[in-house]
Amino acid sequence: MADSYLKAVNSGVTKTLAKKLGLPRPAVLRRWAPGQPLTTGPVLVVGGRPGVEDDADRVAAALLGWDLDVRQVPAGSTPDPALRWGAIVAVMTEAQKPTDLSETVLAIGANLRNLAGNGRVVTISRATVAGDAPALSATRNGVDGFLRSLAKELRGGATGNGIQLTEAAQVGDPSVLAALHFFLSSKSAFVDGQLLEVGDGPSWDATDFDWTRPLAGRVAVVTGAARGIGADVARTLARDGAHVVVVDVPAAGDSLARVANEVGGTALQLDVTAPDAGARILEHARARHGGLHVLVHNAGILRDKLLANMKPEKWDAVIAVNLDAQLRINEYLLGANGFSENPHIVSLASTSGIAGNRGQTNYGFSKAGVIGHTRATAPLIAAVGGTANAVAPGFIETDMTASIPAIARQVARRASSLQQGGQPIDVAEAIAFLASPGSTGVNGQVLRVCGQNLVGQ
């Protein structure tokens, strides 16, 4: 559903009026298009030590390898007022105590006014681990609060996100660079204020990696794909080179067939709650495409009621579709060695499963359960060289959210740092990243696609 307010405050007379009245003016977000450059301008790398080769230099070298205009300026220098940074990348991996980050943080601040519209700020730091000394733990955890707060200060469609390296990971690892590539790109347009933990993960060949078709030769199954977010996920995975199997209930057969034809894939009419759903998915993927590499659990339903008015059938239906079906299908595929090499499972959670939502006790339970099973599945699938992650959308403009009363819908849109709802493609881009070989170092994580619409998230 279109956001008429967003369009009005960014065009014509209503744009001028909104500016004079001081009304919220959400920016038009830059989303991916073929041939688009990775960033909107040069990239500033801060955090290095003069005269010493360090992680900041290694990050700068990697960015240069992507044919970007990369600058490293001395601490305390005055930015060129005519320059507009497409991104600021802050490398904080070597900090041992809080005062070690002062120059880096102040360098970011000195350049923020020069950040272009739809620009990016990305921090690269290390995750806290058991056994860290108090000062080291304070420093690493402090980056979390800094990044989330900074993201709330950015304007003009700019976003701030962070990469947290585990102890085994290094800034030059392919999975770390793939996460940086995603956060710098317009594919992360509605991902804001998030920190993604990245480990070294299974090795993969980054030589001549095709960023435009990272899923070439892979077979992906998407449930709930007849419309909405699921259909956009299917289109995006196909765009990135995957052979796609779209799955939905028989009642949605016509719509499902249209999506399958559009993406050059195949359709499987199936109720995911069926006891043999996993077996049928595997049989279809192997028979029609030769294997199964990616499974996207998108199928989901709403049956909203206050708990005092909740009927058993409303509770049970939501749990069956949103949670039990995922558990049963995962269990079958893992037990039957159903996945091909380097598999990826991506499940749809929700910010309702993180913060809760009035009238959604069943939905909130199911989506929090998705997060729980994702974390528990991660080590199981890692044993066969794979990953399991979840994406948690916030307010996304779909047929489902279009049914929300108008005033409540406007409030939900303006509540995020980006002051607007996301689009189904925003969720699809995050899923495509987590389904790609580049995400092999990301496992058991929940990536929120919410425009930073939760307090503290």
Each domain of the chain, given as residue ranges in start order, spans 38-198, 219-449
According to DSSP, residue 396 is labeled B
pLDDT value, residue 300: 93
pLDDT value, residue 18: 58
pLDDT value, residue 16: 66
CA distance 103 to 80: 19
The domain made up of 219-449 has a fold known as Rossmann fold (3.40.50)
Is 258:230 a contact under the CB 8 Å cutoff?
no
**Could you tell me which residues come within 8 angstroms of residue 346 by beta carbon, excluding any fewer than 6 positions away?**
294, 295, 296, 297, 388, 389, 390, 391, 431, 434, 435
Q: Is 332 a catalytic residue?
A: no
Q: Which DSSP helix (H) or strand (E) runs through 27?
A: none
pLDDT value, residue 445: 98
- pLDDT averaged per 10 residues in sequence order, the chain, 457 residues: 70 68 80 95 91 90 96 78 94 96 95 96 96 97 97 97 95 95 98 96 71 95 97 98 98 98 98 98 98 97 91 95 98 97 96 90 95 98 96 88 72 87 96 96 97 68
pLDDT value, residue 457: 46
Q: Which DSSP helix (H) or strand (E) runs through 76?
A: none
- Structure confidence by residue, pLDDT tens digits, 48-90: 887 778 999 999 999 999 999 999 987 667 778 889 999 999 9
CA distance 335 to 341: 15
Catalytic residue among 85, 363, 365, 433: 363
pLDDT value, residue 403: 67
> Do 38-198 and 219-449 agree at the fold level?
yes
The domain made up of 38-198 has a fold known as Rossmann fold (3.40.50)
HSE value, Cβ hemisphere, 13 Å, CA-based, for 62: 23
